[in-house]
Amino acid sequence: MNEKMTFCENCRKDLVYIESEAVLKSDLKGETYEYAGKKAVCTECGSEVYVAEIEDFNLKALYDAYRTKNAIISLEKILEIPQKYGIGKRPLSLLLGWGEMTFSRYCDGDMPTRQYSDMLQRIYDDPAFYRTLLEDNKDNLKSQTAYEKSKRATEELLGVQNAPLTKIYIVIDYLLCKCEDITPLALQKALYYVQGFYFAFMEEFLFPDDCEAWVHGPVYKDIYDRYSSYRFDPIDSSEKCDESVLTIYEKAIIDSVIKNFCCYSGKTLEGFTHSETPWLKTRGDLPITVSSNRTIHKKVIGDYFAAVKKRYEMINPSDVETYSKKMFEQRN
């Protein structure tokens, strides 16, 4: 039997208490509020006892009464806004031109001013109004990803038909969902290895995009532009992704790349690519520090990874582990 116990000041020992509903009155900001709360009573002496959980419940009930009387948005609605619009707490504060931690404080229970409350209430009630804010203030956000994620969530609320993601962005969405702390550099290399090994096993490329032979290895330029604001920091991860848009074999190859390549830093993966034919052949005689936008032709990538599959006698995608370990050993 799980009895609820607390310390009774009157009995001077831990005792079982009874919890019951009660109509309470308390003062807040110079006014008295009546609200539905709870109280705890010692079963031995009948005196009221302190229970932290009940005190927290009563404090929230008091604040809710204050919010109702003064037309302040409820805490429940505040907590729902980031989920509703697919945006983080800090990015939302930045979008609104507030201090970076302002919205987070409101989520922790701080009371917004009437002005800020009215703004949050309108955002909660009106997705079209939020979409206008998002478009007008998107430059306040630190990443293009945060903007696009929130835009898609908002348009879904408004019933707008979103254009389907291209294959490379489907792969990126999956990588960001499954990988932890993946930087822009590591993402570029993961895409390159997904493309290469997919061809090796399926004899066709997973996405049509071309990469270029940059100083730091193969780079998909549009993807670089999209995530350049992160620089050396990990890209915001996706909490969930639609795995149904990938075939079983596509997921098997991507999962193998995640397991066997994404375990290394972006810089280590850059070193791998610097010793591989596609990057070396495309760069030619260019010094390693000289910039280049030369396209690494997909045929070169396909031929190289097909040869790797044959050389290492790979039967299924999990066999790429042999190659990744060999590349790592060669660097150490």
Read off the pLDDT band of 2 (50, 70, 90).
low
Same domain, 259 and 175: yes
pLDDT at 206: 97
Query: What is the residue type of 248?
Result: I
Q: Is residue 226 part of a domain?
A: yes
Residue 132 has pLDDT above 90, yes or no: yes
Residue 100 has pLDDT above 60, yes or no: yes
The b/e string for 180-190 (b: 16+ C-beta within 10 A; e otherwise) is: eebbbbbbbbb
Least confident among 59-68, 133-142, 227-236? 227-236
Read off the pLDDT band of 323 (50, 70, 90).
very high
Q: Which residues pair with 5 in a beta bridge?
A: 16
For residue 282, CA distances in Å to 18, 189, 214, 218, 294 come to 77, 16, 10, 10, 7
Residue 66 has pLDDT above 70, yes or no: yes
The larger pLDDT score, comparing residue 177 to residue 320, is at 320
pLDDT at 239: 65
Residue 125 has pLDDT above 70, yes or no: yes
> ∠ CA 295-232-215 to the nearest 5 degrees?
30
Per-residue pLDDT reduced to its tens digit, 162-177: 667 789 999 999 999 8
Same domain, 175 and 323: yes
pLDDT at 1: 40
Same domain, 58 and 129: no
What angle do the packed helices 248-260 and 320-331 form, to 10 degrees?
Answer: 20
Q: Is residue 308 part of a domain?
A: yes
For residue 293, CA distances in Å to 125, 190, 256, 290 come to 47, 19, 29, 10
Same domain, 60 and 85: no
- Tokens 């990803």 correspond to 145
Same domain, 171 and 300: yes
- Tokens 């969930």 correspond to 240
Same domain, 58 and 90: no
Q: Is residue 49 part of a domain?
A: yes
Query: What is the residue type of 187?
Result: L
Given 100, 133, 157, which residue is the final one in a domain?
Answer: 157
Domain hosting residue 324, numbered range: 167-331
Same domain, 93 and 65: no
**CA distance linking residue 257 with residue 113, whole number of Å:** 49
Query: Which residues lie closer than 8 Å to 209 by C-beta, 6 or more apart?
Result: 168, 220, 222
Q: Is 159 left (phi over 0), alpha (psi -120 to 50) or beta?
A: left
Q: Is residue 61 part of a domain?
A: yes
Taking residues 137-153, report their average pLDDT: 85
Residue 186 has pLDDT above 80, yes or no: yes
For residue 267, CA distances in Å to 184, 216, 236, 327 come to 11, 8, 19, 13
The larger pLDDT score, comparing residue 143 to residue 104, is at 104
Same domain, 248 and 309: yes
Same domain, 184 and 317: yes
Per-residue pLDDT reduced to its tens digit, 10-29: 999 999 999 999 999 999 98
- Regarding pTM above 0.85, the answer is no
Average pLDDT, the chain: 92
**CA distance linking residue 159 with residue 154, whole number of Å:** 9
pLDDT at 147: 86
Given 122, 157, 192, which residue is the final one in a domain?
Answer: 157
Count: domains in the chain: 3
**CA distance linking residue 35 with residue 259, whole number of Å:** 55
Given 69, 84, 110, which residue is the final one in a domain?
Answer: 69
CATH number of the domain within which 57 lies: 3.10.20
Same domain, 79 and 173: no
Same domain, 150 and 183: no
Q: Is residue 162 part of a domain?
A: no
CB 302, CB 199: distance < 8 Å? yes
Q: Is residue 318 part of a domain?
A: yes
pLDDT at 29: 87
Per-residue pLDDT reduced to its tens digit, 267-317: 999 999 999 999 999 999 999 999 999 999 999 999 999 999 999 999 999
Taking residues 50-71, report their average pLDDT: 93
- DSSP assignment of 278-296 equals HHHHHHTT--TTS----EE
Q: Is residue 196 part of a domain?
A: yes
Residue 49 has pLDDT above 90, yes or no: yes
Same domain, 260 and 204: yes
